Amino acid sequence: MPVRPVSEFLDQHEVRYHCYNHPPAPTAQEIAHYAHISGHELAKTVILKADNRFIMAVLPAHKYVDLETLRSTLKVSKVEMAEEAEFRGLFPWCEPGGEPPLGILYGLEVYMDAGLMDNETIAFNGGTHTEVVKMDTSEFRYLAHPKVSRFAVRG
């Protein structure tokens, strides 16, 4: 089961979702492997700083954030990876690195790579390194209100 605030939020909005348990996995690619989910369908959440404010970037597990493209899209002077110690307090119910891409729960804007829109479903960490939430991409988009653009690249 995902962390309580995530499951309560999804239940409150009457969203259909499935939870998958898997062995502990620290990377998105390992999660995809253990959960038997394509790396195209599994979304990873990356916490970034855009001109010193935290944002969530949501992208396919097998890709990386092109910081310059996202900086240009956001029309800010600087986008950089946030250090875990800087944002740990924003996600009190989550394991570090297991943050779900539901920025509304944490007061963060969500930027979603357009490549995820090609999938009927989306899967993401439920707040831990052992649970994945899977739901319709359209429902995720309705709940998360992400700003969609192309910023993910292959590594």
Residue 1 confidence (pLDDT):
53
Element (H, E) at 109: strand 109-113
**Are the C-beta atoms of residues 144 and 104 closer than 8 Å to each other?**
yes
pLDDT, greater one: 129 or 155: 129
Contacts of 59 (CB under 8 A, 6+ apart): 43, 44, 46, 65, 112, 113, 115, 116, 151, 152
22 pLDDT band (50/70/90 cuts)? Answer: confident
pLDDT, greater one: 66 or 37: 66
Q: How many angstroms separate the first and last alpha carbons of the chain?
A: 31
Domains of the chain: 4-154 (3.90.960.10)
Q: What is the pLDDT of residues 92-144, one digit of tens each?
A: 889 888 899 999 999 999 999 999 999 999 999 999 888 999 999 999 999 99
Largest CA distance in the chain: 40
Has this prediction a pTM greater than 0.75?
Answer: yes
